[in-house]
Amino acid sequence: MTRPTRVLIDTEALRHNLRRVREAAPDSRTMAVIKADGYGHGLLRAARAFADADAFGVACVEEGLLLRRGGFDKPIVLLEGTFEAGELGPVAANGLELVVHCAEQIDQLATVAHAPPLDVWLKVDTGMHRLGFAPGEIAAAYERLRGLAAVGEVRLMTHLGYADDPRDGRTAEQLAAFAEAAAGLEVERSAANSGGALGWPEAHLDWVRPGLALFGASPFSDGDGAALGLKPAMTFATRLIAVKRLRRGDAVGYGGTWVCPEDMPVGVAAVGYGDGYPRHARNGTPVLVNGERVPLVGRVSMDMICLDLRAQPHANLGDDVVLWGGGLPAEEVARHADTIAYELFCGITARVPIDEV
Ligand SMILES: *Cc1c(COP(=O)(O)O)cnc(C)c1O
């Protein structure tokens, strides 16, 4: 028997989630954001499932080239643009679109002439204070871009820093600042990530840019994807490789941070932080054994975790264990590990085989 740890991707769930986001923003085009290996689901697998999207968003030219080599010919946007001028050659040769967030990137474009010209997305910093031009700098940056031979269409985008909380008033402030920066410009506009697409109709504009929601998880800080009509696409699964009958007072795992309160069965499952299960998952983090919840106990090791099997006294070696997926949202596991579903999905490591169902 090989090590049973694996990830299963439900490609029908991916397709369902794209339809769900499109329904939520019916008048906008959809850029499916599939950076970071499709949020850990596989870049090409995600691109195939999201074939109905109007464009793809990725983080770097390498991801864009993998998509082009995979045969995808729809628009591909590099969400941080170029990191150095040398990338403009491959960008142009493969027809990739660029976000332009700083004056240096415009300087780079000014040194080249491309036929056909590159479409760009001028980024406005509307309050997240990460990438982008201040709203007051947009008119001048726009004029500069329009004057360059290397530049074709110019669109405007911003990124929402607070959309994970539908009650946070700063999203409305960001949208107002974006409208002001765009005033008078005849351009397509984009602001909404998953949170904006599902929680802020006024953020939909011409293009929505969902990532996480397409993979079935909620972008909001409470609740889960199912409550939003999404289906989790990733199941992270393994099996029990030992079941021990421990005595009251026995300490479990590194450091003995958890001690059996009574004589009890403890299971060992073949997954750990070496696979991307979060080491910070606390005692009590839910795990499914044969479809039923049991609590994690003791520290997460590199290759193993321990489980309190008092609710599953008949569980046996070889029984099914699910770390997250249907019946146990990654969002819920993330809350027990002080992280977010985004990080859990991206954190699956290279040794874990990924299959489609
Ligand atoms: C990653 C990213 C998105 C998608 O964000 P989600 O919260 O996953 O929907 C959208 N826009 C930009 C610029 C991004 O970098």
Pocket residue to mutate for ligand 1, from 193, 208, 214, most atoms within 8 A of Cβ: 193
Cβ of 79 closer than 6 Å to ligand 1, yes or no, is yes
> Is the distance from the beta carbon of residue 326 to the nearest atom of ligand 1 less than 6 Å?
no
Q: What is the sign, positive or negative, of the torsion defined by CA atoms of 212, 213, 215, 220? A: positive
Q: Which two tokens stand for residue 2?
A: 């090989």
Residue 203 CA to ligand 1 center (angstroms) comes to 14
Active-site entry in 35, 123, 273, 277: 35
Residue 232: closest CA among 294, 165, 324: 324
Question: Does position 114 have pLDDT exceeding 90, yes or no?
Answer: no
Read off the amino acid at residue 134: A
Question: Is there a catalytic annotation at residue 254?
Answer: yes
In the chain, % helix, strand, coil (3-state, to 5) comes to 30, 25, 45
Task: For residue range 295-350, list pLDDT tens digits in order.
Answer: 999 999 999 999 999 999 999 999 999 999 999 999 999 999 999 999 999 999 99
For the Cβ of 33 lying below 6 angstroms from any atom of ligand 1, the answer is: yes
239: CA distance to ligand 1 center in Å? 34
- What is the Cα gyration radius of the chain? 23
State whether the beta carbon of 285 lies less than 6 angstroms from ligand 1. Answer: no
Closest to 193 measured CA to CA, from 239, 144, 159: 159
Q: Are 118 and 92 in contact (CB under 8 A)?
A: yes
Residue of 235, 156, 167 lying closest to 195 (CA atoms): 167
Across the range 190-219, mean pLDDT stands at 98
| 342 is known as an active-site residue | no
- How many whole angstroms separate alpha carbon 295 and alpha carbon 177? 46
Q: What is the pLDDT of residue 320?
A: 98
Tell me the CA–centroid distance for residue 304 and ligand 1, in Å: 32
- As a whole number, the mean pLDDT across the chain is 97
Percentage of the chain beyond pLDDT 90 is: 98
Among 77, 348, 75, which Cα is nearest to 215's? Answer: 348
Interval 30-40 mean pLDDT: 98
Which residue is it, tokens 């040769």?
93
Indicate whether residue 304 lines ligand 1 (CB < 6 A): no
pLDDT at residue 1 is higher than 60? no
List 39, 74, 123, 254, catalytic entry: 254
Strands (DSSP E) contained in 159-285 are 189-192, 207-208, 234-246, 251-252, 258-259, 264-269
| 41 phi, psi to nearest 5 deg | -95, -5
Alpha-carbon gap, residue 195 to 37, rounded angstroms? 21
Q: Is residue 38 lining ligand 1, measured as CB closer than 6 Å?
A: no
Residue with tokens 């609740």: 223
DSSP label of 313: T
- As a whole number of angstroms, the longest Cα–Cα distance in the chain is 77
Instruction: Please state, in angstroms and rounded to a whole number, the distance separating the CA atoms of residues 294 and 281.
Output: 14
For residue 164, give the ligand 1 atom closest to its CA: 7
